[in-house]
Each structure stands twice: as structure tokens, then as C-alpha cells.
Amino acid sequence: METSASTPIFDVFQPGLIRGQEFLPYDPSKGYFYVEHPVEGWRVYLRAICFIHEEGAVYDPKRFLVVKRTGAHAGGKSWEPPKGQMEGKDALNHPRTSVMELLKQAIKREVEEEAHINVLHNLEHTGLIQQAIEPDFLPNTYFHYHVFRAQTPVKSIQRGLNWFSWLKEHPKFFARMKRDKKEKDELAWFNPANTKLMGRWSPKLVPMYIGQYTNL
């Protein structure tokens, strides 16, 4: 569920916040990073999503890359832009690094793991934030999706497409890959008719992003 309109978007970039990690019930093998206000007590887990556009092409907010959930039917609700949740192992080792920089590093890793694209130019925070709660969260606990956009060269896009094609021809290799690197098995340009959005949050984040940059 989303937070009510009366709940402000918490400023996770302010100085003095407590940093930590928690092993949550839905995936106890990972420690998820959070920031917590030392006085007000709110806690926010940090997630990020990236809308990747072709470098050099005319900017179209509706033309961005999406990846398909492994094993899902391509015609079903199985697509989303690369996104993920920040883990404690990535953030807590760098206590002097700003939260914004940590988010950028995290989304770069997600893009490489999910889309197999390793070049992102002009990566920027759009200012868009989805603040919400999960059903099993304790009171005063939230998560943020921070929305980024970036550009990547055609060569990098083709590298990703070629990699996914190679993996389809080598299923045994794909099966041996680490879990984080085989969550997605196809890369494509977003098309609302052909790449239907999956999950609870992508169907909210995509129109939020497109609406921000349409008719500017």
C-alpha cells in the first residue's frame, strides 16, 4: 500500500541519519540497507529504478529498456526497467559516501546484473520518489523507490542483447550463474502492448516517469 497524502516524503539525504541493515522475512539471506532518523524514529529502506535511453537518439520518455523475469511468458506481465533494493553489504562498507552516491552505485550494479549493460552516461536522479510501506513492516517504517534515468550507447545495448542470446543457447551456463545475475532473461524496448509491466511497483513507477517528462 502507498502512504497517505498526509505523510511527507522523508528526506533520506539529510546529514545525521543512522545507517543499518535488516534481514527481512521475504529474503532472509540478504541484509537490506536502511536509514533511520535518530529523533523522529522513521526508517526508510532504499530501492532504485533506472530508465535507460539510447545515447544520441532523440529523447523519448516512452522509449526505454526493460528486462523480463526469468522463465516468465514474454506476452505476460513479466517486464520492468532494471531496479532493485540496496543491500547493507554495499552501503555499510562506505560510511562516508553520501546516500545519493550509494544509490547511484547500487543502480549501476542492478543495471549490469539485470540488463547486462555496463555503460551508463549522464546518470541522474529525476527527483521522483515513490514512498510506500509493505504489509509486514513495523510502524513508522517505509521504503523509497528513487527514480533515475541514463543513456547508453548502441554498442552497449547490443552487448546486452548478444549476451542474452548467448545465454539462451547455453542453458547449463545460465543455471550455474549467481542468483542475482539470472533474475532476468531478456532485454527489449518498452512497448505497453508487448512488454507488459510486472509486479506492484513498476506499473506505478513507469507512468510516474513518463508523465514527468512528457510534453516538456
Supply the DSSP string of 18-50, one letter for each residue. EEEEEE-TT-TTSEEEEEE-TTT--EEEEEEEE
CA-to-CA separations, 167 to 49, 161, 176, 211, in angstroms, rounded: 24, 10, 11, 35
Question: How does pLDDT run across 133-174, given as a tens digit for each residue?
Answer: 998 899 999 999 999 999 999 999 999 999 999 999 999 999
**How far apart, in whole angstroms, are the C-alpha atoms of residue 166 and residue 135?**
39
> Is pLDDT of 120 > 60?
yes
Please tell me the predicted confidence (pLDDT) of residue 24. 83
Cβ burial 157-177 (10 Å sphere, 16+ → b, else e) = bebbbeebeebeeeeeebeee
Asked if residue 4 has pLDDT above 70, the reply is no
SS3 state of residue 206: helix
Q: Percent helix, strand, coil in the chain (nearest 5)? A: 25, 30, 40
What pTM value is reported for the model? 0.94
Q: How confident is the model at residue 216 (pLDDT cuts 50, 70, 90)?
A: low
All structural domains of the chain: 18-213 (3.90.79.10)
Per-residue model confidence as pLDDT tens digits over 66-100: 999 999 999 999 999 999 999 998 889 999 999 99
Residue 6, pLDDT score: 63
* Cα–Cα distance measured from residue 153 to residue 51, given in angstroms and rounded to the nearest whole number: 14
Give dist(CA 143, CA 123) in Å, integer: 22
Question: Average pLDDT of the chain?
Answer: 94
Residue 2 pLDDT greater than 60, yes or no = no
Residue 85: per-residue pLDDT: 94
pLDDT digits (tens, 9 = 90+) for 164-207: 999 999 999 999 998 888 999 999 999 999 999 999 999 999 99
The C-alpha atoms of residue 35 and residue 179 are separated, in whole angstroms, by: 26
